[in-house]
Structure formats: structure tokens, C-alpha cells
Amino acid sequence: GENVEQHPSTLSVQEGDSAVIKCTYSDSASNYFPWYKQELGKRPQLIIDIRSNVGEKKDQRIAVTLNKTAKHFSLHITETQPEDSAVYFCAAIAGGGADGLTFGKGTHLIIQP
Amino acid sequence: EAGVTQFPSHSVIEKGQTVTLRCDPISGHDNLYWYRRVMGKEIKFLLHFVKESKQDESGMPNNRFLAERTGGTYSTLKVQPAELEDSGVYFCASSFSGVSYEQYFGPGTRLTVT
């Protein structure tokens, strides 16, 4: 089955700087890669996703890149703000897209004022 | 539009007792998923319903866990008898086939087995 590795487990950046979180996956059949943000005590919320036919996707300060050959994808957050502090999870799905998600272990992003 | 709801938000039970968690997906969503996050670890997939049918239950830990989805609407997850290692946060998510792959998560049920 699919295995998703996520690094780092904790990331501390100064407000205004950029943050990058990296994930690798094992199943070459995986074709959908969402990123979820979970604030303390709240539900995971989708912040951006990418499908395997696209190499990069951007939404304001957030971008995701995908390298299918190397089987890794990354989340980039620019101009970080205090409200970006949360746990971020990457995930992957193989098959038709309606399958269960395989998650990475999460990255605790801390924005230092 | 109401989001995914889960009940209860917290449950504290003793080892050996039974607990039933409930999930109400977004109206019209045919896919319903259960996940679990054990303290400090990743969110792990448990099972997937399409309408009332179990599409994939490969993530269910053992036969102490029983999930149902009556009439393809809400779902329940029963743990009987509960063990200490069952403690964690149980999330439910739903999605609508054919529109996007996005899964919408509920707020979770925090289960503590003592």
C-alpha cells in the first residue's frame, strides 16, 4: 500500500519568512495530493491540492509542487503570518480519487513574531 | 450548507466498555470515511463507505470495530470492547463522487479509554 513520509516534524520560522514542508510517497499510481491544515482543537481543512497531471499550483501565498518522477511534493507558504501556525498534513490517494487518504505524520509550523 | 458533524465530541470510557460514535456527512455526499489519529501520530484511514456499502475496510484495526451506514446517510462506529490503545481522535469525512476529490472533515470525537 501507499506510504507517505513528511518532513520536518516541526518547523519554526520568523513572521514574514517562507516555510517549506516536504513529502514523499511510495505508490507510483497515486494521482491526488491534498494538503490539510489543522489548528488546535479544530477539524483538518483542505488548503490546497494537486493532481498528478500538474506540476505546480498556486493560491495566493500558498503553492504546491509535484515531482512525479521523484515521487515527492512540497508545500510552500510565503510571507508567513501568525495565523499560519498550525499542524500541516500532506496526503496521497491512488486510484480513482475517492479512496481513503494516506497521510504523512504532520508538520507543526510555528510562526515566531 | 452544514458541514460534517460528529457526536459526541468527547467520550471517556473504561477498558472493556462499549462506545458508539456517530457521523453525519454533508447532505448528498455518497462517500463517507472514518479516520483515527492516535496522539502524536499520523491520521490513519479506517474505512470507506460508498452510500451504504463498505468500499474499503482495510484500515480497521480488528474485529472489535464495527462500522455501519444505515440507508447511506449517517454512519456509526462501534468499539466493543474498548482497549487502552483505542484512545485517540476519530475523524469522519465525506465527499461527493465526480465533483472533486476533496474530503470534508468533521470536528472529530476524542475517545479516551482508561
Q: Summarize pLDDT for B26-65 with one digit per residue, the tens.
A: 999 999 999 999 987 889 999 999 999 999 999 999 999 9
pLDDT of residue A101: 94
Contact A42 B107 (CB under 8 A): yes
Instruction: Single out the residue of B32, B16, B112, B103 nearest to residue B67, CA to CA.
Output: B32
Chain B residue numbers with beta carbons less than 8 Å from the beta carbon of A102 are 45
B93 forms bridges with which residues in the sheet? B33, B105
pLDDT of residue A96: 61
Among B35, B46, B56, beta carbon nearest to A99: B56
> pLDDT-based confidence at B99, cuts 50/70/90?
low
- Interface subset of B 32-91, CB within 8 angstroms of A: 33, 35, 41-48, 50, 55-56, 58-59, 91
Report the alpha-carbon distance of residue B9 to residue A106 in Å, rounded.
22
Q: Name the least confident of B2-6, B8-12, B73-77.
A: B2-6
Secondary structure class of B85 (helix, strand, coil):
helix
Tens digits of per-residue pLDDT, B77-98?
A: 999 999 999 999 999 999 998 7
Chain A residue numbers with beta carbons less than 8 Å from the beta carbon of B108 are 43
Contact B50 A36 (CB under 8 A): no
- The residue in chain A having the minimum alpha-carbon distance to the alpha carbon of residue B106 is A43
Residue predicted with more confidence, B71 or A37: A37
Report the alpha-carbon distance of residue A101 to residue B103 in Å, rounded.
9
Residue ranges of E strands in A1-113: 4-7, 10-14, 19-25, 30-38, 45-51, 56-59, 62-67, 72-77, 86-94, 102-103, 107-112
pLDDT of residue A88: 98
- Check the CA dihedral A52-A56-A58-A61 and report its sign: positive
- The residue in chain A having the minimum alpha-carbon distance to the alpha carbon of residue B31 is A98
Set of cell numbers at residue A84: 499560519
- B71 CA: distance to closest CA in chain A (Å): 20
Tens digits of per-residue pLDDT, A51-76?
A: 888 899 999 999 999 999 999 999 99
- The residue in chain B having the minimum alpha-carbon distance to the alpha carbon of residue A42 is B107
> pLDDT-based confidence at B100, cuts 50/70/90?
confident
Whether residue B26 contacts residue B1, with contact meaning beta carbons closer than 8 Å, is answered with: yes
